[in-house]
């Protein structure tokens, strides 16, 4: 089972899922009811990402793209995501980088993140996977350059595997 948190409902934000909604076993969770059009796609649960209404170890993957910056307590969501993920389950996060205009464009954003802050938050409970990496032939420079690349992007992308 895959959970996508905050795909948009077609009301306040357009329905813009990050996952193909024709895939079986996808559950969409949002704080507001989906529009009639969005309701046609997948299974919907209306709920707060900070209090996920699911049993523990229920999902193999959670997608939360452009959600953290909207939450009152992002750490609470990260704890809940950890709880409802199966062992070795993957949490996929995306959020505007503090260097991006998008971080400040939406008045509904409650938080602005930088790569390192988010990386260290996730590292407490997850093994981190980085989407952008420096060339493997760079030897000892590869890791610092990988961090630098990820720090300078407009959008922070991190995946964590539940330990």
Q: What is the pLDDT of residues 59-111, one digit of tens each?
A: 999 999 999 999 999 999 999 999 999 999 999 999 999 999 999 999 999 99
- Longest Cα–Cα distance of the chain, Å, equals 53
Residue 23, pLDDT > 70, answer: no
Q: Are 51 and 77 in contact (CB under 8 A)?
A: no
**pTM, entire model:** 0.91
pLDDT at residue number 21? 67
The pLDDT of residue 82 is 98
Between CA 150 and CA 130 the distance in angstroms is 8
CATH architecture, domain 2-162: 3-Layer(aba) Sandwich (3.40)
Residue 30: phi and psi, rounded to 5, are: -145, 160
pLDDT, mean over the chain: 92
Q: Which two tokens stand for residue 49?
A: 């990402």
Where are the chain's structural domains?
2-162
What is the band of 137 on the pLDDT scale with cuts at 50, 70, 90?
confident
Q: Give all strands (DSSP E) within 6-162, no chain letters.
A: 26-30, 43-46, 59-65, 85-96, 126-129, 155-162
Task: Give SS3 for 30.
Answer: strand
- Secondary structure class of 57 (helix, strand, coil): coil
Q: What confidence score (pLDDT) does residue 20 get?
A: 73
Residue 137 and residue 119: Cα distance in Å, rounded?
A: 24
- Rounded CA separation 130/71 (Å): 23
């Amino acid at each position: 089972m895959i959970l996508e948190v905050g795909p948009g409902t077609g009301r306040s934000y357009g329905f813009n899922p990050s996952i193909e909604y024709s895939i079986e076993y996808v559950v969409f969770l949002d704080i507001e009811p989906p529009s009639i059009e969005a309701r046609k796609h997948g299974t919907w649960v209306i709920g707060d990402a900070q209090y996920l209404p699911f049993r523990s170890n229920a999902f193999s993957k959670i997608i939360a793209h452009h959600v953290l910056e909207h939450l009152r307590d992002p750490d609470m969501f990260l704890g809940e995501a950890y709880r409802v993920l199966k062992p070795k389950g993957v949490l996929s996060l995306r959020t505007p980088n503090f260097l991006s205009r998008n971080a400040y464009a939406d008045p509904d954003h409650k938080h602005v993140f930088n790569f390192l802050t988010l990386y260290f938050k996730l590292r407490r409970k997850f093994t981190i996977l980085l989407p952008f990496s420096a060339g493997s032939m760079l030897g000892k420079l590869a890791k610092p350059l990988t961090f630098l690349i990820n720090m300078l992007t407009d959008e922070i992308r991190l995946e964590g595997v539940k330990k």
